[in-house]
Amino acid sequence: MAKGLPTTEGTPYVNADVIAAVTPGVKLIIILRDPVERLYSSYNFFNRNNKPSPETFHDVAQNSVEFFEACMTRDGSLRGCTYQSSIRTQFGHFHTEFTGGLYYVYLKDWLRAFPKEQILILELSDWHINCEENLTRVYKLLDLDPSSGDIVRQSCNQPTRVRTYRKMPRPMLNETRRYLQQKYEPFNKMLYELLEDDKFYWKYNK
């Protein structure tokens, strides 16, 4: 842990506050993904040159959860421990931090710093399924006129640029998936209660 970095519940300023101070009228578009899938995707992407494997991911993810839970036991501050673990990521810990999926904590800060009218929060799977509806919402947020539904339709039908791997990652271990789902479940519920939108309540089969 680097010294001098504010990580407690009382941390006065985060990125949301800085951006709000510099550009208070900015419009924000946030796309959230199932945190379990996000974590595995991040691990494989940032470790693509280091022979990532489901087995190594399991160990790294478990270590990240244990680091967070130890902080919670010691300090009892959800916000402080979330940001503390996120700072830890920046110092080379595989870009695989459990706290990256604790969207509830981060969004509380963004919703505190900005009016709701300036923020559009979308869910990744829903974006793909209902592209035209969601893109229309983006235009509306940005005060843009698509002129006709054809423009929206054409944009949604454009080929998608996706990252490529030399070798496609192997599937996550079922054991790892169940473990992470159990750990994320209470925070997904908190996010749902904050946003009051069940698209953001990733419910997992027990």
In a domain, 43, yes or no: yes
Averaged over 90-112, what is the pLDDT?
A: 84
Pairwise CA distance, residues 170 & 160, whole Å: 22
- What confidence tier does 59 reach under pLDDT thresholds 50, 70, 90? very high
Identity at 109, one-letter amino acid code: D
In a domain, 131, yes or no: no
pTM: 0.87
Helix runs in the chain, H state only: 15-22, 35-46, 54-75, 78-89, 103-113, 124-129, 131-141, 149-156, 174-195
Identity at 17, one-letter amino acid code: D
3-state secondary structure of 196: coil
In a domain, 181, yes or no: yes
Residues present in the chain in total:
206
In a domain, 100, yes or no: yes
Averaged over 95-108, what is the pLDDT?
A: 92
3-state secondary structure of 30: strand
Where in the sequence is the domain holding 175, given as residue range(s)?
A: 15-123+170-200
Averaged over 97-104, what is the pLDDT?
A: 95
In a domain, 188, yes or no: yes
Pairwise CA distance, residues 40 & 130, whole Å: 24
Q: Which of 113, 116, 149, 119 minimizes the C-alpha distance to 131?
A: 149
Q: What is the CA radius of gyration of the chain?
A: 19
CA end-to-end span of the chain: 36
Give 122's strand partners.
31
Averaged over 68-91, what is the pLDDT?
A: 83
Mean pLDDT of the chain: 87
pLDDT, tens digit (0-9, with 9 covering 90-100), for 127-179:
999 999 999 999 999 998 876 667 888 888 887 766 655 678 899 999 999 99
Confidence at residue 86, expressed as pLDDT on a 0 to 100 scale:
67
- What confidence tier does 13 reach under pLDDT thresholds 50, 70, 90? confident
Give the chain's domain count: 1
In a domain, 39, yes or no: yes
In a domain, 4, yes or no: no
In a domain, 133, yes or no: no
Pairwise CA distance, residues 36 & 180, whole Å: 6
